[in-house]
Every structure is written in structure tokens, then in C-alpha cells.
Amino acid sequence: MERIIIDMDEVMADTMGAMFEWYAKNYGLPLDYSKMKGSWMLGIPDEHKDIVRQRLYSEGFFRHLPVMDGCIDVMDELNKKYEVFIVSAATEFPNSLRDKLEWLNEHFPFLSWRQLVLCGDKRMIAGDYMIDDHVRNLVHFKGKPYLYSTIMNKDDTGYERISNWQEVAEKLL
């Protein structure tokens, strides 16, 4: 059975959308999307970067993220066809470990705990396919990489892109 590696943040979970919604509600300053190359944090006004970063470290932030449209149904089908592993860089934000585990268990009960890899660096991950929003995670991957399109990677080239879960289904199911 072929193995597929799938990232959580900005692929399965709308982390950026949740942060932007929280930021607009609490601070309301405009974001500079043109500066978000490589990281959406670059588009946050300088006076609020520390506050936003602290939000990422807070308990519960990663627990209540919205699921990307169509993700649950497509993931269920992928899980029947592939050996699926959810691989998420989580150790940078220690509170995210429990949050992400609980989020995955709630929204994807068909995945077992053995399919969840919460780590710091994805270079040691091996599989046939990988879907991730960061080129830094795809560059060392030996299988077929797919770049999940976001604001922060809009200028990155050299990878086949996936823009939504319908496209995941079309390419992999």
C-alpha cells in the first residue's frame, strides 16, 4: 500500500484563517498580504507581532481551528486507499501537541493514534506522496511532493500545486 504524508496546519486546518479572524476581532488593523512570502506573520503590523506569536503559544488555539472544506470526506477515502500519516510540526508550540491530538481525534475519528506524527522537523519522514504548504518540508522529501497553495507560498515554484480538497481527491483518489 502506498504511503501518503499530509500536513495539518494550512492543509487540513485553517490556522491562518483562524488567526486572522481573531486578529481582526481584537485589533482590526489591516494585514499586509504582500509581505506574507514564506510566513503569514510577516504581514502582521510590527506592533502586534509579539501578541500574535503569543497566541500561537497559548493553550487551546490549535484545538479550535476550522477544518478545511471537503477535508474530512476526502481524508476518509484516502485512508481506505493509502497508508495515511498526518505529520505536523508541533514541538515549536508545546501547547499545540495536546491541542492538535484532540483536534485530529475529534474531526478524524477514523484515523488511529498510530497515524499521527507530531514532530519538530519533517526531514526524517518517508512516503510515496506528501502534501504540505511549506517548501522547506517538501525539499528533502524523496516521494512525490504536492505544495498546498496558501498566501505565503504563492511565489514558490518547482512543485505541483493543490489548492483545495477537491483537487486532492482528483489527483489521489
Residue type, 156: D
73 is catalytic: no
Model confidence, pTM: 0.94
Calpha distance 90→106 (Å, rounded): 18
121 is catalytic: no
Residue 78: phi and psi, rounded to 5, are -60, -40
Read off the C-alpha cell for 35: 509581505
Q: Which of 7, 14, 99, 133 is catalytic?
A: 7
Q: What is the CATH number of the domain that holds 92?
A: 3.40.50.1000
Range of the domain at 19: 1-173
How far apart, in Å, do the first and last CA atoms of the chain sit? 14
Number of independent structural domains in the chain:
1
CB-facing half-sphere around the CA of 26: CA atoms within 13 A:
10
At residue 30, the pLDDT reads 78
Read off the C-alpha cell for 65: 481551528
At residue 55, the pLDDT reads 93
pLDDT tens, N- to C-terminus, the chain (173 residues): 999 999 999 999 999 999 989 988 998 877 888 888 888 888 888 899 999 999 999 999 999 999 999 999 999 999 999 999 999 988 888 889 999 999 999 999 999 999 999 999 999 999 999 999 999 999 999 999 999 999 999 999 999 999 999 999 999 99
